[in-house]
A and B are shown apart, each in its own frame.
Chain A
């Protein structure tokens, strides 16, 4: 089975052999750090590689991602017409014109059912799934239910060979929940601002949780309106 990449040179170089389909990736980051841009890069790469990409829009209407992709010259209308780019609207509860809409954001069961239904219709395809941001869907849910949802969902996604990217906004969920949840992901990308004398610097930590510790390498990155995320791989510092 071929390996997947993000389409971000510095990040892909750090991963060396890429990630397997069926892997789960958590992207955790500060507000405004570029998590959605990261999601866009992941989708762009998937579309170029022939994958079917499913984007769950929780924080903004799906059109925001359409416009974002098109600003990078991605022909979303062509991919949507071919059924290779699918949007699930988890933002607008009513009045959405999308084909797939989550009508009640408070019930994880309903979300999970819709996600499974959509994935089922693309069985046999190589699929990338992005939930942006999953933490928004989990804010009103109690800890036990969140953990149960994660275990069940991620198990199903792994079994189905879905390459998943779940996005979490830093500070929204309880740190203990995030630590436990972190064990369930094959790869964690932490995006944060670090203070600098002159201006904030964007940092990316690439790693995974081992024995409740986040083991990662640290890199500086920037966001270009033309190229997207640029990770300075050679400036990585092991932690």
Chain B
């Protein structure tokens, strides 16, 4: 084996190892490999400042410039590719797999039945991000003759849920974040229970609702489809450690949704640090508030969500049912007789 082949095989192995550990890494998000590629491509450009000049702002020209630059650095790095603009402004990229430097990585994904991720296309969307500051995503299919057919398209989805560190500042989705152990969270709850027990469930609901509003207002604009948006948000909650949140049922026409949360963080804290209330009852008001905010904004009407089953009282999972609210703000009459 030539030195260069050995090194290429090692590089593919490194990518494979990273790809397979994405789900195991806390806060890695779905776009960890893309963030990694961003650094690799940027470093490559920095190392060869004068050798790669982007004269055009057309995506197809930018990609060709970059790929040709790579082929100049390393002959046949991405050999005999075909790149063109489709009618709907996407970029179509075809290459024989055997001509791609990362074919070893790609073959291993298929062998292990893992979802396809194309490093070559990942680099292409990355160079577009660097030059145009626009997000792109890609899809790829491999036909029976071994030709990869890639599609690079503008993406409205955020690619920033990864937790990053900038100096001493931790950031989640570009915003300052804090990571603390459950002991601190439990201590806050227990303190509220001690000093203002009447306020506890309201504080939790309202905290969830207000933070949910912040998130959904930012996310809603990125998705046309309510269900797609909800699934993205639930993945983000799962990724952040709230529990495995999944959408069980949604009918936007009647504004009804059923949501499940397996292994709720709130339940785990209560089980370990003590019950929040005198009686055994549903306790996931924080999530209830979050879901109420998400659905009210997405369905554009007042929705109210209830936790109808909770793992803290013996359920297999926590279940939430959301329906339109009947109550109109301002109709409250205050104390009743």
Contact = CB atoms under 8 A, between A and B. Distances in A.
B104 interface: no
Contacts of B205: 73
A109 interface: no
Contact of A67 (B278, B308, B327): B327
Interface stretch (A88-96, A152-160, A219-227): A219-227
Interface in B286-337: 292, 304-306, 308, 313, 321-327, 331-332, 334-337
Given A70-B325, A71-B327, A227-B202, A79 B279 contact: no
A49 B202 contact: no
A67 B335 contact: no
A216 B279 CA distance: 24
A82 B332 CA distance: 25
B335 to A, nearest CB: 4
A68 B332 CA distance: 7
Nearest to B289: A73
Contacts of B323: 75, 77-78, 81
A59 B337 contact: yes
B304 A2 contact: no
B17 interface: no
A188 interface: no
A9 interface: yes
Interface stretch (A31-39, A116-124, A177-185, A203-211): A31-39
Contacts of A77: 304, 323-326
B281 interface: yes
Nearest to B324: A77
Interface in A55-105: 59-60, 63-64, 66-68, 70-71, 73-79, 81-82, 84
A169 interface: yes
Categorize the interface residue count of chain A: 35 or more
A82 B309 CA distance: 11
Contacts of B280: 2, 49
Chain A interface, >50% SS class: mixed
A171 interface: no
A204 B314 CA distance: 35
B31 to A, nearest CB: 35
A67 B327 CA distance: 5
A18 interface: yes
B199 interface: yes
A163 B94 CA distance: 72
A5 interface: yes
Contacts of B331: 67, 71
B58 interface: no
Nearest to A45: B279
A228 B197 CA distance: 13
A140 interface: no
A197 interface: no
B327 A227 contact: no
A78 B306 contact: yes
Kindly name the residue among B205, B306, B322, B336 whose own CB sees the greatest number of chain A CB atoms within 10 A: B336
A5 to B, nearest CB: 5
Contacts of A227: 198-199, 202
27 contacts: A4-B279, A8-B198, A12-B278, A18-B279, A32-B337, A34-B336, A35-B337, A37-B335, A40-B336, A48-B279, A50-B313, A59-B337, A64-B336, A66-B326, A67-B326, A67-B331, A68-B336, A71-B331, A71-B332, A73-B202, A73-B304, A75-B305, A76-B304, A77-B304, A78-B308, A81-B321, A223-B334
Interface of A: 2-5, 8-9, 12, 18, 29, 31-37, 40, 45, 47-50, 59-60, 63-64, 66-68, 70-71, 73-79, 81-82, 84, 169, 223, 225-228, 230
